[in-house]
Chains A and B, each alone.
Chain A
Amino acid sequence: MQLRGMAFLAAHCFSRRFILSFVFGFLPLGLVASPVFSTSFEKQVSTAASWIGKTWPQDIDHRVSTDSDIYIAHLQNSIANDEAQWRSKPSLALGQRLLANYLLRYQLFQHSRDLLSGDRLAKRMQKMLGDKKQASVQLKHLLAKQASMNHRFTEAKALFEQEALPLELSLLIAHAQGDYSDLKALPNCLSADVQDSFELSNIAGRLLMLGRFKDAIECFQLAEYRYQDVSPFVLSWLQTQVGIAFLEADDIPSANTVFRRAYLRFPSYTLAAEHLAETEFLLGNLAEAEELYLAVTKVSDHPLFIAQLAEVQLKLGKHKAATKNKELGLQGFNRMLENHLGAFADHGAQYLLEQGMHQRAYEIAQINIRNRQDKDAWLLLGESAEINGDQAQACMAWQKLKSLQESYQLQMRGLDLKDKIKASCNTGLKRA
């Protein structure tokens, strides 16, 4: 029971799967779980991408974008210049540009410094706005995004008292609250009404939640095709999303191919690099995985990455380095949970659970469920309650999850909720 539940959890949080594979022994090294796709990657791609041709996913030689070093240098320059200007002459217009760039850099490098700087800046900007709330929709959207990065959904929502919430923000909040009703009537990517690449990728992300991998990949492909600009980050991000789709479908070799494309386009994009590392590991290429994780941990202070590095090093027999990095990972999670509890609650609780710190993990999972009630939060609560022997709470969490699954047809492969409910609810009843 335990393992199947964890397998589901892993299938929904790719980096978690990686760690869990060591702890619980599923997905052993080099073993690829039975792919959802019945066809090979090549066939999949050639069918789905007939409008692009056989070269998809496009590498940097076939689909040009600005060199990622040129792109990063400009971003860093802009931030440095705007920070200097902000210190001497702060203004909302300047703050807006700076905050957008902090968020952008956080997305690229996953370093908490930008999360913190963004938070500080957003607070100053809120003060400057005062009660007037004379902010453009764009500025409100930006401030709301900063709040939502820290899982402060009420704050995000409050910014839009006067206007309707932008669609993307309302979906984000609805999902965090366990409302997936938008999934019941998803627009068709191939319809002429959907032209925008980001709208397409948004639909694709939602298709993934339903386990409609092929449809999702088609949408991502179309999004890439429709994207006219030359930002290497946007293209690398789109390809990383496709890799994640393959990963969710347990097609590790295909995921690896796509992550490599994304990585080569933008080597310092953390999520492309760490996902590539993860698939290298799953394919048994430990040295490559270690090298990639080492590079990632140089630019990002996300504790998950150093924890993953430790696991790779353990497999490589580098026990000293593994022990040191495991400790650094734990310290990192503790630090993040102290400073950014909302943002790191789910990753943090999961990690603590895996490390055997069940009680603390359970406490955080309970805090997390007060903040968000999406499927991952219920899953985390169910697992941590179960491990801590709180069958009544586990029973409630599994029932909530089952209700979400049934109401919205959410993808929960590998998880037998019936068994879970039977086990925890019967035990709970007996105790009662």
Chain B
Amino acid sequence: MKYLLCLLAILAFDIRAADHGEAPQVRVDSLADLNDLYAFINPNNADELIMVATVAPNANASTQFSDAVDYRFHISTTDNPGDYSVLSCSFEEADEFSCAFGDNSPVTGALNSTVEGGSFRVYAGLRDDPFYFDGGAFAETVATLSPQFKTEGVNSFAGQNVLALVIGIRSSDLTKAGSEPVLRVYASTNRKSGAVLNGSTSGSFYNVDQSGHGFQFQVISQKNTDDQTQVSANWFVFDDDGNPIWLTGEGPVDGLTARIPVQRLSGGRFPPNFNTEDVNRIAAGELLFTFSDCNNASVEFETADASFLASTSLGVQRLTSVQGLPCGHKSLGQVDRIGRPAIATALIDITGAQGTKDTYNAAADPSKWSEQFEAEIRSHLELLDSLDGATNALLPAASLASVLVDDVLLIDTRESACDEYLAVELSVAGKCGGRTLARDVIDDTLSAVVAPGAGDGVANDSTFLDDFPFLAEPN
């Protein structure tokens, strides 16, 4: 749903008529732009939460996920940002995916297949688009600011496929064995950082065939006067006579390399007899680290005194890493997010005139959403409520805005019947809430925000599977 307007977002024209300067027609990458999120309890297993995120409208068999983002599912029982657990998937190879969650070992699988990973399982690949909606009538409604939906609408998504990420995850692990039974779920895409050395590269490195000497390598927070990230490195090694020496220095990071002038230290004595002035610092040469990936590097040593140490080079691999800093691409920023359907589409900058959708999508701290967007959502709700000429939404705009601005799906894991959208928010007994694949959430939303009984006249046209991954086969 969300991509409907995002995809069509018209970019700024360049001020020159010449074709050279015209800005790209579509500013987002729809492969990183989340269409829809679904979350429900597996009807075959009450202890499994199913989450589905879709991207790439109009996909076919050759469509691939973006290799530039992590696709994430955020799950929590509280609204405290720090409490969210994150299941993250990435697609660095054309035909496979890898996903990681908590203490489970990361899993890797082939596209269009399901893999198991401890407390979770994942399917990633092409499926029928489960969403159904009369996009044309919606566009006309926005254009005319009067309802243009018909009794029998046209499903703009009929026969289309999407790329889907389907996760099954043991819910009792998330609810602290049922003690905090209501889960909050949203999905996001997050841009990976480029291939640069960062804090997570820090650790000990050695040559596996030369155990007994090695490097301590640390990317430090202080930058040099040229605003470059710095690395400190220590090489614990021996000279040609077998005496232990250590070479130490600092140098700047340049992409995947770090060039470090190193000194050899001597003359100091063991504390308490240590005296700084006794320490001799002798320029020993230069170390050049070139990382091929996070765990492997080549090291070239160019000596400053060939009579003492010879220039040499060797390959090294990671021996240790820093706790809490798993090596890998660090995410740089949230590109998109989705919780409930249609929020970013219909309740944020509906006409595209305010330019706030990007800000909404990039807002990564749930504790600040209310402060940032509640007023805008409220004004949109008031507008939508007035479309039929009456103020007859389910709840006053202010109340509804305060609920919807918390843009997550709420799922009560004690209930297995998930056929009612907004059930937790509206305290509907016996229902788990969330969003199932078949549920007509557009009619639910129109009924809630425009008028009771409002709908787009389109019904589900997909034949869903009875079991994982649930989505219908691709068309």
Contact = CB atoms under 8 A, between A and B. Distances in A.
Interface of A: 13-14, 46, 50, 53-55, 58, 60-67, 70-71, 73-74, 77-78, 81-82, 85, 89, 91-94, 96-97, 100-101, 103-104, 107, 110, 134-139, 141-142, 145, 148-149, 151, 167-169, 171-172, 175-176, 182, 195-199, 201-202, 205-206, 209, 228-234, 237, 240-241, 244, 271, 346, 372, 374, 376
B191 A228 contact: yes
Contacts of B30: 74, 78
B63 A169 contact: no
A231 B333 CA distance: 14
B17 A151 contact: yes
Contacts of B185: none
B60 to A, nearest CB: 5
Given A100-B25, A145-B10, A231-B27, A81 B191 contact: no
Contacts of A202: 12, 14-15, 23
Interface in B21-73: 21-32, 56-60, 62-64, 66-69
Given A63-B194, A91-B156, A107 B19 contact: yes
Given A65-B68, A70-B66, A107 B22 contact: yes
A172 B9 contact: no
27 contacts: A13-B18, A60-B194, A62-B196, A62-B255, A64-B193, A66-B32, A66-B66, A71-B31, A73-B63, A73-B64, A81-B160, A93-B4, A100-B8, A100-B10, A101-B26, A110-B19, A136-B142, A137-B351, A138-B352, A142-B8, A168-B12, A202-B15, A205-B15, A205-B21, A228-B335, A229-B27, A231-B24
Nearest to B30: A74
A138 B10 contact: yes
Interface stretch (B133-141, B166-174, B231-239, B396-404): B133-141
Given A61-B255, A77-B63, A135 B143 contact: yes
A390 B66 CA distance: 58
A148 B14 CA distance: 11
Contacts of A64: 67-68, 191-194, 329
A62 B144 CA distance: 45
Given A229-B32, A234-B27, A145 B17 contact: no
Nearest to A374: B17
B70 to A, nearest CB: 11
Interface residues of B, number: 77
A54 B21 contact: no
Interface in B327-364: 329, 333-335, 351-353, 355, 358-359, 362
Given A74-B56, A234-B24, 11 more contacts: A13-B18, A53-B228, A55-B196, A73-B63, A82-B58, A93-B138, A94-B136, A96-B139, A107-B19, A148-B17, A240-B20
Contacts of A81: 58, 60, 160
Contact of A231 (B12, B26, B138, B256): B26
